[in-house]
Every structure is written in C-alpha cells, then in structure tokens.
Amino acid sequence: MNEVDEFEKSLTTTYRMKIWSRFVKAIKEFQLLKPNEHLCVCISGGKDSMIMAKLFQILHKYSDFPFEITYLVMDPGYSELNLNKIENNLKIMKIPAIIEKTNIFEVANNQNRSPCFLCAKMRRGALYNLAKKYGCNKIALGHHYDDVIETTLMNMLNSGSFQTMLPKLHSTNYKGMELIRPLYYIREKDIIAFKNHHNLTFLQCACKFTLENSELNSSSGGSKRLETKMLIKELLKNNPQVEKNIFKSAANVTLDMILGYKDGGKYHSFLDNYDEKS
C-alpha cells in the first residue's frame, strides 16, 4: 500500500467520524462548494492546511458533482529549511501544489512596529490575487473549531465586541471571490492525533519576526490566542461544556436581550423600538 492510500484510508476509516465526516458536514451544511466551481486550497505548510488539502483531494476523487481544485502554497519568504519541509510534506502526501514566491516577510519585517497585522493583510491580499490568477472563485483556509471559539472569546475580551469566525464570507475587495473554512467542525486535537499517527511534522510559525522574539513571547506568556487557549483550558475544569457553549453562542443570539448590534455597518440600539414593545 502506498503512502497516499495510507492517508486516504486513515481519514476515511480511523478518523472518519472525527475528521472526514465533520469536513463533509461543514461543506454540506454551509453550502461551501457548488458544482463547477474552481477552488483554491491555500496551504501554509502547517498541519491544518496540509490535512485540509488531503481532504479535498479525497473529496475531489469521490464527489458526485464536478469541481476544479488548485493547490497553492504562497511563499511569503520562508527560509530554505522551512520551504524544503513544505516541499517534502507535499511529496509525502502526494499533493500537487503550486508554489508562488513573494517578499511579504521582507516588507513586513522592515516596519518599525509589530509587523503581524501588515503581514496578515498582505498574505490575504496575495492569496486573493493568486487565486484570481488561476481562475478560482473560492479560497479555502484551514481554520478549525478551536480557532472559531478562540476568536469568539478573544473578540469579547480584547475588542469588546461579539463576533465570530464565519464558515464562509464574500470578499469585499475581490468581486466574485469567496472565502470558505471547511474545517469548521474539526477539533484541533483530532488533527494533531492524525499527524502523530502518521509521524508527520509540519511548520509551526515560520515568521522571522516571531522567531527573533521567541524569548520575549515565552517570558510574557505568548500571544493573545495562546492566552485564550489557556483560559479555555482552565474553564473546562469546572464546565466540560464550555467549548461547545462558546461555539453555539454565535448561532443563538437573542436580539431582544442585547444593548445593540450592527447590521450592514449601521448601529441599532435596543432603545430604537423599546417603547413600541410596551
């Protein structure tokens, strides 16, 4: 049995309920993919996007409707070591990805302030431009269930807003382009289990800025996302349903019981029609 058969068999048998079924469920429930669409599967080199690419490869093989896939690695300026790691994993998992080089790390790291926001913005723009170049109308990113609940909680605690990470959204700057998140229901621990089962190693964070500040990050407790992960871990000790409840809360908003909300950029207060309800 060759390696690609091993990954496919594993995802559709051993990890069928934890990974494959949840992947298919998200695609069907949120209508993430339609016949004859052209999907750009964006591979960062990390565990999530690489496994997502393998899942789409299997789906493409057995789908009951036609669609096209372009597997894309947007190289923002990886070191030779990290780029070799990505290329080796693509070869092992037999994913026919295109690698497009950019100078995003170089540009972002030359900024006086923290380059993370600029880097993320440039990377997203580069992905949309490359997807358009290859004739795609959708791009798939590897955000999973844990990313969703962490983002929801981070927005509440750090931004004072209630908003979550949606399973799909239309691009505001690239007409006709849509972003989808097919790992929406998949737990990070199950992706890690699959990775460990096959003795695979992927990139963590290949950013030069992060590497240069690793000591600072370690001593200060790391990023806001890491802080949020640790907070959720603590909350789980007293409430085993806390992750599920955070996830569900974004689909269970009671507008009658909140002070205000935004719709289409316009703010609405509970006072707007308060007297009419008396």
Confidence of residue 218 (pLDDT cuts 50, 70, 90): very low
210 pLDDT higher than 90: no
Q: Determine the pLDDT at residue 121.
A: 85
pLDDT grade, residue 116 (50/70/90)? confident
Q: Tell whether domain 3-215 is in CATH 3.40.50.620.
A: yes
Tell me, what's the pLDDT at 2?
44
pLDDT at 216 over 50: no
pLDDT value, residue 119: 80
Secondary structure of the chain as H, E, C letters? CCHHHHHHHHHHCCCHHHHHHHHHHHHHHCCCCCCCCEEEEECCCCHHHHHHHHHHHHHHHHCCCCCEEEEEEEECCCCHHHHHHHHHHHHHHCCCCEEEECCHHHHHCCCCCCCHHHHHHHHHHHHHHHHHHCCCCEEECCCCHHHHHHHHHHHHHHHCCCCCCCCEEECCCCCCCEEECCCCCCCHHHHHHHHHHCCCCCCCCCCHHHHHCHHHHHHCCCCHHHHHHHHHHHHHCCCCCHHHHHHHHCCCCCHHHCCEEEECCEEEECCCCCHHHC
Asked whether the predicted pLDDT for residue 243 surpasses 50, the reply is yes
> Residue 63 above 80 pLDDT?
yes
pLDDT surpassing 60 at residue 217: no
The rounded mean pLDDT for the chain is 90
Query: pLDDT of 125-149, one tens digit each?
Result: 999 999 999 999 999 999 999 999 9
The predicted structure's pLDDT at residue 48:
97
Locate the domains of the chain by residue range.
3-215
